[in-house]
């Protein structure tokens, strides 16, 4: 066939359009192949062990594929049935569960939380009284990050909620935004009280079963299938496997915030349902008005609580719906949410006016190519752009990582050399406790202090300076943290400070005898 030359002798900002031939049209990859090649290269550049990508558009699955391996050092490949943690992308499902109960008249978004959880209490009784069901989903309660309640201890869900009353507010009620996992646990408890069945049963019956999500599990302890990804984390520029079912299982205590596990073959149904007004394959999960309420902006998100990607995407506005972050992108509205657990990540993004959604999961801790793949999918399958988000975000997060290393070195430089503890090491051993933070047990192992925090986090304490030590966790993925001991006026150890949390030393038998006058 004769070549067809479309020659435009145009100079526009230094850009010249090259001739397009019939042959070049034949060899130009289709969008799906082009996107696949892009993801493959991104996986190599970011050194991700494994990853899945699912794209749906206008009611059909456009792309669904697994890349890489489930676990470093083992041959099993990732496919579209490999289970990964949904992590905080679970939150949108919990919000939808509440929406179903709204549809049935069993609750209202603006009902007081205490209507369903009479014992629920925050530090400020006024906030407790005014807190509404809606507030549990939009990170505006005044409570700061309280993840230590589930990530650093093994206590029942009810006890986690009970300890909220001990946490001083980080800001005044509804005046700001700090991302919060514990409030989604409370939202799950509201689901249980309003429906009469536990959250994990409700979500299975009302979301997984209608959408035919047969492999999806509500709790980590239910994940027994061999075809599941193992978590990985980069430590000192080396990617290592996290082999700890305890670590992964801790999230079950706050299940409604992030405990669901799923795979591409299942998640595509949820994606289509959330794009199509809560409908899927002839089934309707939510009334249109309730579905719309989930995506209605509820709170402004501050710069400090948003993602570093904003430095490049430059959104004009940033909001949070009911379980969804939101911002503008190339003149379009985007709904999305990330999920992050130790060694696992996810992202669910929507371009609603184009009926397009993308879902990414990976088994590498905070692998931020998830953002790059999401924006690239929007560009490739809807907006006609071709910006190399992977390269740009790789540079962005590389710079952030380098700054963190510099900050760590700067912190290390404050160490005062040639000091020693105020007391013999034996004076520091014993138990330390706090009604909020739990218990720390200090012993001596191999001539060094050794700590066990709630029997979850353990490690040796290397002397740093004065009465401050550096805790090097046995659970290597936790890195290290400073631990300081505070002496009282009598020169005895009174308290232990760990990551800003203070625990009081429990008097030993001798001290109790003195205190009692014996």
The sign of the torsion formed by the CA atoms of 156, 161, 163, 167 equals: positive
Instruction: Indicate whether 8 belongs to any domain.
Output: no
Same domain for 104 and 222, yes or no, is: yes
Same domain for 105 and 163, yes or no, is: yes
Which domain CATH number covers 130? 3.40.710.10
Same domain for 193 and 328, yes or no, is: yes
H-helix segments, 336-417? 369-378, 389-412
- Per-residue confidence (pLDDT) for residue 244, from 0 to 100: 84
Instruction: Indicate whether 418 belongs to any domain.
Output: no
What are the phi and psi torsion angles at 391 (to 5°)?
-65, -40
Q: What is each CA distance from 457 to 80, 120, 372, in whole angstroms?
A: 34, 28, 34
Q: Can you read off the two tokens belonging to residue 323?
A: 């379980």
- Per-residue confidence (pLDDT) for residue 248, from 0 to 100: 85
Same domain for 397 and 437, yes or no, is: no
Q: If you average pLDDT over every residue of the chain, what do you get?
A: 92
Interacting residues of 74 by C-beta distance below 8 A, sequence separation 6+:
none
Q: What is the pLDDT of residues 483-506, one digit of tens each?
A: 999 999 999 999 999 988 999 999
Q: Can you read off the two tokens belonging to residue 392?
A: 């740009």
Same domain for 401 and 432, yes or no, is: no
Closest to 482 (Cα-Cα) out of 401, 415, 402, 430? 415
Between helices 31-46 and 369-378, what is the axis angle to 10°?
Answer: 170
Instruction: Indicate whether 25 belongs to any domain.
Output: no
Q: What is the pLDDT of residues 435-483, one digit of tens each?
A: 999 999 999 999 999 999 999 999 999 999 999 999 999 999 999 999 9
Q: Can you read off the two tokens belonging to residue 119?
A: 């014992």
Distance CA 196, CA 217 (A): 20
Which of 360, 376, 405 is a domain's end point?
Answer: 405
Same domain for 349 and 465, yes or no, is: no
Q: What is each CA distance from 464 to 431, 441, 453, 471, 483, in whole angstroms?
A: 21, 19, 19, 10, 9
Instruction: Indicate whether 250 belongs to any domain.
Output: yes
Sheet holding 332-341, edge to edge: 60-68, 50-57, 356-362, 344-351, 332-341, 325-329, 318-320, 299-300
pTM: 0.92
pLDDT of 513 above 70: no
Q: Can you read off the two tokens belonging to residue 271?
A: 């994606």
Q: Can you read off the two tokens belonging to residue 22?
A: 């019939």
Distance CA 168, CA 158 (A): 19
Instruction: Indicate whether 228 belongs to any domain.
Output: yes
Closest to 263 (Cα-Cα) out of 216, 310, 202, 312? 216
Same domain for 277 and 171, yes or no, is: yes
- The domain tally of the chain equals 2
For residues 170, 175, 178 and 179, what is the CA-based torsion angle, rounded to 10 degrees?
Answer: 130
pLDDT of 17 above 50: no
Print the domain residue range for 474.
425-515
DSSP calls for 233-267 = EEETTEEEE---HHHHHGGGGGHHHH--EE-HHHH
Same domain for 231 and 299, yes or no, is: yes
Which of 377, 405, 433 is a domain's end point?
Answer: 405
Same domain for 323 and 259, yes or no, is: yes
Instruction: Indicate whether 448 belongs to any domain.
Output: yes
User: Exposed, middle or buried: residue 228 (CB in 10 Å: 0-12, 13-18, 19+)?
Assistant: buried
Beta-bridged to residue 224, according to DSSP, are none
Same domain for 324 and 431, yes or no, is: no
Instruction: Indicate whether 413 belongs to any domain.
Output: no
Q: Are 325 and 318 in contact (CB under 8 A)?
A: yes
Instruction: Indicate whether 61 belongs to any domain.
Output: yes
Q: Are 362 and 84 in contact (CB under 8 A)?
A: yes
- Compute the radius of gyration of the chain from its Cα atoms: 26
Same domain for 258 and 379, yes or no, is: yes
pLDDT band at 7 (very low <50, low <70, confident <90, very high): very low
Q: Are 331 and 27 in contact (CB under 8 A)?
A: no
Q: Is 112 helix (H, G, I), strand (E, B) or coil?
A: strand
pLDDT of 21 above 80: no
Distance of CA 301 to the CA centre of its chain: 16
Q: Please give the span between the terminal C-alpha atoms of the chain, in angstroms, as a whole number.
A: 107
Which of 375, 405, 435 is a domain's end point?
Answer: 405
Q: What is the pLDDT of residues 385-416, one digit of tens each?
A: 999 999 999 999 999 999 999 999 999 999 99
Distance CA 460, CA 464 (A): 12
pLDDT of 510 above 80: no
pLDDT of 231 above 50: yes
Same domain for 397 and 430, yes or no, is: no
Element (H, E) at 335: strand 332-341
Q: Can you read off the two tokens belonging to residue 256?
A: 């409604």
């Amino acid at each position: 066939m004769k070549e067809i030359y479309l020659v435009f002798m145009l100079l526009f900002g230094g850009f010249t359009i090259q001739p397009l031939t019939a042959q070049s049209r034949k060899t130009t990859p289709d969008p799906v192949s082009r996107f696949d090649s892009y993801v493959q290269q991104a996986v190599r550049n970011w050194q991700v062990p494994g990853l899945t990508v699912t794209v749906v558009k206008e009611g059909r699955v456009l792309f669904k594929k697994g890349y890489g391996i489930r676990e470093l050092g083992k041959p099993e490949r990732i496919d579209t049935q490999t289970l990964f943690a949904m992590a905080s992308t679970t939150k949108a499902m919990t919000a939808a569960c509440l929406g179903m109960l709204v549809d049935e008249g069993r609750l209202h978004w603006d009902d007081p939380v205490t209507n369903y959880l009479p014992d629920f209490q925050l530090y400020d009784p006024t906030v407790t009284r005014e807190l509404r069901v809606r507030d549990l989903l939009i990170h505006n309660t005044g409570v700061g990050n309280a993840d230590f309640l589930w990530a650093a201890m093994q206590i029942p869900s009810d006890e986690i909620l009970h300890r909220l009353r001990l946490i001083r507010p980080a800001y005044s009620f509804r005046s700001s935004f700090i991302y919060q996992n514990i409030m989604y646990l409370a939202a799950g408890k509201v689901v249980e009280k309003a429906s009469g069945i536990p959250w994990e049963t409700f979500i299975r019956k009302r979301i997984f079963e209608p959408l035919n999500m047969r492999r999806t599990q509500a709790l980590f302890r239910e994940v027994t299938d061999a075809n599941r990804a193992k978590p990985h984390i980069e430590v000192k520029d080396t990617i290592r496997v996290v082999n700890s079912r305890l670590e992964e299982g801790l999230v079950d205590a706050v299940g409604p915030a992030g405990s669901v596990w799923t795979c591409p073959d299942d998640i595509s149904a949820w994606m289509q349902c959330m794009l199509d007004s809560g409908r899927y394959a002839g089934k309707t999960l939510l009334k249109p008005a309730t579905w719309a309420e989930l995506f209605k902006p509820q709170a402004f998100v501050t710069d400090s609580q948003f993602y570093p990607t904003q430095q490049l995407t430059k959104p004009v506005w940033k909001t949070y719906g009911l379980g969804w972050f939101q911002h503008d992108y190339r003149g379009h509205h985007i709904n999305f949410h990330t999920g992050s657990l130790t060694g696992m990540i996810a992202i669910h993004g929507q371009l609603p006016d184009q009926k397009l959604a993308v879902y990414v999961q990976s088994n590498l801790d905070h692998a931020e190519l998830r953002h790059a793949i999401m924006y690239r999918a929007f560009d490739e399958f809807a907006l006609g752009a071709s910006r190399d988000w992977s390269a740009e975000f790789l540079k962005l997060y590389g710079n952030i990582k380098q700054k963190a290393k510099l900050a760590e070195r700067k912190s290390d430089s404050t160490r005062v050399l040639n000091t020693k503890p105020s007391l013999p090491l034996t004076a520091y051993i014993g138990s330390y406790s706090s009604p909020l933070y739990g218990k720390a047990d200090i012993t001596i192992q191999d001539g060094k202090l050794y700590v066990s925090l709630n029997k979850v986090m353990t490690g040796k304490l290397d002397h740093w300076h004065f009465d401050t030590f550096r805790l090097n966790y046995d659970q290597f993925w936790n890195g290290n943290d400073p631990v300081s001991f505070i002496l009282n006026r009598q020169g005895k150890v009174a308290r232990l400070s760990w990551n800003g949390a203070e625990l009081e030393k429990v008097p030993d038998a001798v001290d109790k005898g003195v205190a009692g006058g014996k």
